[in-house]
Amino acid sequence: MSCELVISAVRKFGYIFQNKIGVAATLAVAIWNVATARVAATPKNANDKNAFGQNKILHTDLVNELQIILTKNRRYNSQFTHSQFTTPSFSFKKMTILDTIIAQKSLEVEARKARVSQETLTKQGYFAKATNSLKLSLSNPASSGIISEFKRKSPSKGIINDQVTVADVTTGYVAAGAACLSVLTDEPFFGGTDQDLLEARKANPTIPILRKDFIIDEYQIFEAKALGADVILLIAANLTPTQVYELGKVVKSLGMETLLEVHDQEELDRSLCEYIDVVGVNNRNLKNFAEQNVNASLALADKIPAHLLKISESCISKPETIQQLKSVGYEGFLIGENFMKTPNPGQALQQFIAQIDALAFA
């Protein structure tokens, strides 16, 4: 890993986190430490000694770049000082799972931009295709409200199901009565790919599809449109209000819809804007992936503006939970693991909807 690449990452982190510059610097230094840890060990020969000397020079360059960034935010000057970054072994803030994912995503997006321009994306794939509306689908009185997800693995569960195909699962979902499809495209942490979304769109041309990923740059929105997505996920936990606004504006300009994901009232209050179409409450805290209940959705049910559709995400495994969430105004329910952990996710959804219907008429 070159010093230039790490410095580029530092600058990108500074943009992403803005008022969390200390986190940005911490992530960049953590990456640099990992990249140089082995070289920084006791040199065994002349070549190792030479490499170690070069890395000390590059490390100094990185320190200087970090110091420039840190001095722009006085809030962190006392917490992160130049002296902390002058030796290979220093203490840094513990990264959350979300921090790690966003750090990786930033590097990934920059690499993608270098390969394919945003202008080129407008001429590829499904970019010119008319989109399918999630809002209309969920508003249909006959809708199941289930947003069924294709997900191979997760940071908290590991491999969930890597023995099924996208086409088989997603067509099974649609046949069972899904209101929308959610397809993971993050590869390092969730095992998803762009090809998964392309295949889901090809097999299911008329149902709305959510690109489930960590969106940090408008480039990814153009990319999602070309891949066949109709709905973009904006996660409040890793975006500033300004970013939510600007990214939501791009989504709207491309004729797509925005699903704003929040976990608590603070994220909701600071992130709502005119470009939000649907609000999703993630019952699982992305910083630790620990929760196993829908308490977050229940707590925010009456805090979400009435004109916005409400979706409850994750930790849903029982039909009774759907009934409970519907009673407080939720119209959509994003479920992945509960179906994907079975040999036949489509059949699992069909049985789940039948159980929901049975409860409704009991």
- Which phi and psi (to 5°) does residue 66 adopt? -60, -40
324, 294 contact by CB (below 8 A): yes
Nearby residues of 10 by Cβ (< 8 Å), 6 or more positions away: 24, 25, 28, 62, 65, 66, 69
Instruction: List the catalytic residue out of 223, 267, 313, 337.
Output: 313
DSSP 314: S
Select which of 161, 204, 314, 338 is catalytic.
Answer: 314
Gap between the Cα atoms of 230 and 126, Å rounded: 10
What residues are paired with 293 via a beta bridge?
none
Alpha helices in the chain (DSSP H): 3-17, 21-36, 46-70, 97-115, 118-121, 134-139, 166-176, 187-190, 194-203, 218-227, 241-253, 265-271, 295-300, 319-327, 337-340, 345-360
Out of 105, 153, 212, 310, pick the active-site residue.
212
Q: Which of 151, 153, 225, 310 is catalytic?
A: 151
Q: Is 139 a catalytic residue?
A: no
Question: Is 151 a residue of the active site?
Answer: yes
Angle between the 218-227 and 194-203 helix axes, to the nearest 10 degrees?
Answer: 40
Question: By CB neighbour count within 10 A (0-12 exposed, 13-18 middle, 19+ buried), where does 254 fall?
Answer: middle
Q: How many CB atoms lie within 10 A of CB 146?
A: 24
Q: Is 249 a catalytic residue?
A: no
Catalytic residue among 261, 267, 331, 337: 261
Among 149, 257, 331, 337, the one annotated catalytic: 149
Catalytic residue among 132, 282, 283, 297: 282
Residue 149 is a catalytic residue: yes
Calculate the alpha carbon distances from 197 to 185, 204, 243, 338, 349 in Å.
7, 10, 24, 20, 20
Q: Is 283 a catalytic residue?
A: no
User: Which candidate, 208, 254, 253, 214, places its Cα nearest to that of 231?
Assistant: 208
Supply the residues annotated as catalytic: 149, 151, 212, 261, 282, 313-314
